[in-house]
Amino acid sequence: MIDFNVPPSTGKETYYMKQAIENRKICGDGPFTKKCQAWMNEKFDVPATYLTTSGTSALEMAALLCDLKPGDEVILPSYTFCSTADAFVQRGATLVFVDIRPDTMNIDEKKIEAAITDKTRVIVTVDYAGVACEIDTILAIAKKHGLKVVEDAAQGFGSTYKGRFLGKDCDFGCYSFHETKNFSMGEGGALVLPDLAYRDQAEIYREKGTDRSKFFRGQIDKYTWVDYGSSYLPSDLNAAYLWAQLEEYDTIYNDRMETWNFYNEALRPLADKGLIEQPYIPEECGHNAHMYYIKAADLEQRSALIKHLKNNGILAVFHYIPLHSAPAGIKFGRFHGEDEYTTKESERLLRLPLYYGITQEDREKVIASVFSFFK
Ligand SMILES: *Cc1c(COP(=O)(O)O)cnc(C)c1O
């Protein structure tokens, strides 16, 4: 059986986790958390990043920092994971879903402005499959209307837009290190903070509403409960797991890219015949090989293809059921304008197995099975 996903591990995870135990520091913000954060600050050239317990909690921190009031509106794509929306629903916001572009599956930047009302406060973007949305256009719209932009770059660790790493051009950037993502710590994530003006407040939300981070930096001589907050900092054991992967960043990145490029080359003849559609990468975007998907003709053909692959021992999966058609999406939001592509394109999309360390033999089996289906 070829799994759809295998959590990444480079071999040094247990060594570093053992070190964390020997450090006698397994709670949050220990040496490995600091190493991971410093690595990201340097790599992305940002003043601050915070490891969090998940991509979801990074989004929750971003939503808290947006300082929303009940009834405020948040614009977002419907084709995304529920956490993109949930973080804002928790703040009492109303969701306004905007259609996606069929080529990248990202929010259609041309359809955003029409969805803005006098209640709109935030635009949440998703970089689907690690391919950046049209960030510059979205930032210009946000600036014109005085809105914040939160970037759900959960899938985009290592991806770039016009040569700049994702998350750093918006107000808040959110990454995930879930086991299905390129780099993992089991459950985990990171909040990227391009503007230090938010640092104190971010640290308060992350540390149970206390100013403990300031205390540890020696800026105050005792810490206290100053606001509401939660516990968004992960154990240093998980950070130790992540550290083993950041150390091997290039190895993991290149291995995934090799699989992606192999699939892309091998499947081209099917695309040339019009039997499938392949991912589109805009020129401005440097992707991270997070996902390889193809599009079948329709829902029925996709279901048959999944079944065919399964019969050949290959697990391929689809996602997402558009949020505006889910019970919570109906309760907390509305779709602005026409759903031209969100539902239709989501029903055609199929993700092929892609993980760090997949063998060439398995890559070839995947391709052979896709070809035998279309024969
Ligand atoms: C994975 C993912 C999340 C959630 O990340 P977790 O770490 O699982 O909480 C949010 N948004 C998108 C687009 C994702 O792919």
The whole-number pLDDT of residue 190 equals 98
Burial of 311 (0-12, 13-18, 19+ CB in 10 A): exposed
Residue 203 contacts residue 219 (beta carbons within 8 Å): no
Cβ 238 vs Cβ 185: under 8 Å: yes
pTM over 0.95: yes
Q: Are the C-beta atoms of residues 139 and 149 closer than 8 Å to each other?
A: yes
Q: How far apart are CA 189 and CA 177, in angstroms?
A: 5
**Contacting residues for 151 by C-beta, under 8 A, at least 6 apart:** 124, 125, 127, 135, 166, 167, 169, 170, 172, 173, 174
Does the beta carbon of 84 sit less than 6 angstroms from any atom of ligand 1? yes
Two tokens, residue 267: 């499947």
Give the C-alpha distances (Å, rounded to integers) separating 301 from 95, 276, 349: 32, 11, 10
**pLDDT (tens digit, 9 = 90+) per residue, 166-223?**
999 999 999 999 999 999 999 999 999 999 999 999 999 999 999 999 998 899 999 9
Percent of the chain with pLDDT over 90: 98
Closest C-alpha to 157, from 147, 148, 168: 168
Ligand 1 neighbour 83 (Cβ under 6 A):
yes
Q: How far apart are CA 235 and CA 237, in angstroms?
A: 5
CB of 56 within 6 A of ligand 1: the answer is yes
**Binding site membership of 80 for ligand 1 (Cβ less than 6 Å):** yes
Peptide bond into 232 cis (omega under 30): no
Task: State yes or no: pLDDT of 29 exceeds 90.
Answer: yes
Q: Flag whether pLDDT at 94 surpasses 90.
A: yes
Cα–Cα dist 215/49, whole Å = 18
> On the CB side of 269, how many CA atoms lie within 13 Å of its CA?
8
Instruction: Give the burial string for 230-250 (b: 16+ CB within 10 Å, else e).
Output: eebbbbbbbbbbbbbbbebbe
- Counting Cβ atoms within 10 Å, is residue 199 exposed (0-12), middle (13-18) or buried (19+)? middle
Ligand 1 contacts CB of residue 176 (under 6 A): yes
Rounded CA gap, 195 and 208, in Å? 21
Distance (angstroms) between ligand 1 centre and the Cα of 198 equals 23
131 pLDDT above the threshold of 90: yes
Strand (E) or helix (H) holding 13 = helix 13-22
Query: In angstroms, rounded to a whole number, what is the distance separating the alpha carbons of residues 166 and 36?
Result: 17
Query: pLDDT tens-digit profile of 336-347?
Result: 999 999 999 999
The size of the chain, in residues, is 375
Give φ, ψ of 277 to 5 degrees: -115, 145
Q: List, for residues 274-308, the tens digit of each pLDDT value.
A: 999 999 999 999 999 999 999 999 999 999 999 99
The predicted-structure confidence for 211-263, as pLDDT tens digits, reads as follows 999 998 899 999 999 999 999 999 999 999 999 999 999 999 999 999 999 99
Report the alpha-carbon distance of residue 186 to residue 204 in Å, rounded. 25
Verify whether ligand 1 is closer than 6 Å to residue 347 (CB atom).
no
DSSP 8-state symbol, 197: G
| Domains in the chain, CATH or no CATH each | 13-246 (3.40.640.10), 249-374 (3.90.1150.10)
pLDDT at 296: 98
Q: How far is the CA of 81 from the centre of ligand 1 (A)?
A: 6
Q: How far apart are the CA of 220 and the centre of ligand 1, in A?
A: 35
pLDDT tens digit string along 38-70?
999 999 999 999 999 999 999 999 999 999 999
Ranges assigned E (strand) in the chain: 48-52, 73-77, 94-98, 120-126, 148-152, 160-161, 164-165, 172-176, 189-193, 285-286, 292-295, 333-335, 349-352
Atom of ligand 1 nearest to the CA of 58: 9
CA of 224 to the centre of ligand 1 (A): 32
In single-letter form, the type of residue at position 20 comes to A
Residue 142 CB contacts under 8 Å (≥ 6 apart), including other chains: 123, 148, 149
Q: Which residue has the higher pLDDT, 289 or 25?
A: 289
184 in ligand 1 pocket by Cβ < 6 Å?
no
Q: Establish whether residue 130 lines the binding site of ligand 1, counting it when its CB lies within 6 angstroms of any ligand atom.
A: no
pLDDT of residue 217: 87
Q: What mean pLDDT is predicted for residues 77-83? A: 98
**What confidence tier does 113 reach under pLDDT thresholds 50, 70, 90?**
very high
